[in-house]
């Protein structure tokens, strides 16, 4: 696949996992070859990377091509995270979000409606109203699957269902659809040797910009305070955004409950119970 999509002979390969390899080309470049879970996974990731790159803000690796299960991209040469790079990343992330999307739930151009977040299916179905769209297409599908799988008890589901009913009052001021990475945990932010942050493995779609930031909070990120400082300088967040972090974390927590089990289900329940009360 690497030779086919780069047009260069392959001289070496290093397996990183069962689904990922570094492949060396005859001109010395190294590319990443990734096997996805079916054609839609490779198609979705390629479309997402190209959509993020099109914004010209945060750096993303170039896509050489995809075919069936396989995706070939450039490799990012990594370095160490630094405060200056984090501040720059915050400003660039704000600019990425500001490039926008046609609608909440909009897939990247050329991307499938039935996409993925990690190994979990994710449907890109559009809607005009973020709180209701978020409940219907980002929270409740994973709640139902967690219950069906036995990860979350049926008697516990109403805790999250009641939270969903409150989303319109908890969501804060209305915002236009942002261009999201969509799976922005620390592992998908690479700190390049060039002094820039790079984004990989997106579940890109149109959404609320606070969702990306909430995921950075959920799983931690080096120099997060500097990232937020840069973001706020470029595009200040609406008042009370820190009170909404838990609201935006329900989606990734339930995805992780589906993929990784009961511990994340308990965390999702605790987050739903801790959502602020409004008058």
CA gap 142, 132 in Å, rounded: 15
CA gap 169, 46 in Å, rounded: 36
DSSP summary character for residue 83: H
Catalytic residue selected from 27, 67, 183, 225: 183
* Torsion angle (degrees, nearest 10) of CA 218, 224, 227, 233: 90
Long-range CB pairs of 273-278, under 8 A, 24+ apart, other chains included? 273/159, 274/246, 275/163, 275/166, 275/170, 275/246, 275/247, 276/170, 276/243, 278/166, 278/169, 278/170
Rounded to 5°, the CA angle 196-191-246 comes to 105
The DSSP bridge partners found for residue 198 are 59, 190
Say whether 149 is catalytic.
no
Classify burial at 46, counting beta carbons within 10 Å of its beta carbon; exposed 0-12, middle 13-18, buried 19 or more. buried
CB 172 within 8 A of CB 238: yes
DSSP labels for 107-143?
A: PPTT--SEEEETTEEEE---BS-HHHHHIIIIIHHHH
The 10 Å Cβ neighbour count of residue 233 is: 12
Per the listing, tokens 């696949």 go with 1
| Catalytic residue ranges | 183
């Amino acid at each position: 696949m690497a030779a086919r999509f780069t047009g260069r002979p392959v001289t070496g390969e290093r397996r990183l996992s069962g689904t990922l390899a570094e492949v060396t080309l005859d001109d010395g470049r190294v590319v990443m070859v990734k096997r996805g879970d079916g054609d839609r996974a490779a198609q979705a990731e390629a479309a997402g990377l190209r959509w993020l790159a099109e914004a010209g803000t945060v750096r993303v690796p170039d896509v050489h091509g995809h075919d069936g299960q396989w995706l070939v991209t450039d490799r990012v040469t990594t370095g160490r995270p630094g405060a200056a790079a984090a501040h720059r990343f915050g400003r660039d992330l704000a600019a990425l979000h500001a490039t926008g999307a046609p609608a909440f739930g909009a897939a990247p151009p050329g991307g499938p409606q039935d996409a993925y977040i990690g190994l979990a299916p994710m449907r890109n179905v559009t809607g005009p109203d973020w709180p209701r769209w978020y409940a219907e297409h980002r929270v409740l599908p994973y709640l139902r699957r967690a219950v069906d799988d036995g990860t979350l008890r049926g008697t516990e589901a109403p805790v999250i269902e009641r939270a969903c009913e409150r989303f319109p009052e908890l969501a804060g001021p209305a915002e236009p659809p942002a261009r999201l990475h969509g799976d922005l945990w620390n592992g998908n932010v690479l700190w390049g040797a060039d002094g820039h942050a790079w984004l990989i493995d997106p579940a890109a779609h149109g959404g609320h910009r606070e969702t990306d930031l909430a995921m950075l909070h959920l799983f931690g990120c080096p120099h997060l305070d500097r990232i937020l400082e840069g973001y706020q300088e470029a595009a200040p967040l609406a008042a009370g955004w820190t009170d909404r972090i838990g609201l935006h974390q329900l989606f990734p927590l339930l995805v992780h409950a589906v993929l990784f089990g009961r511990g994340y289900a308990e965390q999702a329940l605790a987050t739903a119970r801790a959502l602020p009360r409004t008058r």
